[in-house]
Amino acid sequence: MHTLSKDEFETQKEIFFTKIREGYLFIHPTDTIYGIGCDATNHDSVYKVRETKERYTAPFSVIAPSKEWIKQNCHVDKQAEKWINKLPGPYTLILKLKNKEAIAPNVNMDLDTLGVRIPDHWFSKLANEIGIPLVTTSANVTKDNFMTSEDDLDAKVASHMEFMVYEGEKKGRPSKIVDLTKDEKIIER
């Protein structure tokens, strides 16, 4: 696994965008903790994330390329619009998915919902630049501690990653989940 700083990544981002499009997995920073990412439209890549995390049934969230992407691909009512206007931020919004072709079916396990994020972090702009949603899930094996620094990185997880964008220890917690599929429900993690 190749570890890069923000500057190293940004000066070579076209190379890494190609790697993402080719199906490679990576670790990325967010406004909360470190996440595992991949192209959310690539079924095989999503499956590799599932194997790495040992998480075979629960849906994953995505970093949306833009608020417009969310509105084009998810059902957005006035309540959802209010939360979308709070993005970027430390929220995962659970919305009804209206365009099932927008993601690989194993991202959301063929549910009619999707968790979408736009972290308040420079890395979110890259989803917009590459033009595809990116899977984002905590960088850990399911039920183990999430990654906040390089010292927390599980060797098994690291062995499946092509690269990691690292910017030091994170002091955050996983994002707040806001389920907007029925009555607004906020889940703290």
pLDDT in tens, 145-170: 999 999 999 999 999 999 999 999 99
Q: Quote the pTM value.
A: 0.94
pLDDT recorded at residue 32: 87
pLDDT recorded at residue 188: 60
Per-residue pLDDT, averaged over 20-49, amounts to: 97
Read off the CATH number of the domain in which 15 is found.
3.90.870.10
Residue 34 has pLDDT above 70, yes or no: yes
> Confidence class of residue 30 from pLDDT cuts 50, 70 and 90?
very high
27: containing domain = 2-187
Instruction: Please count the structural domains in the chain.
Output: 1
pLDDT recorded at residue 183: 75
C-alpha to C-alpha distance for 43 and 15, rounded to whole angstroms: 21
CA angle 47, 58, 89 (to 5 degrees): 95
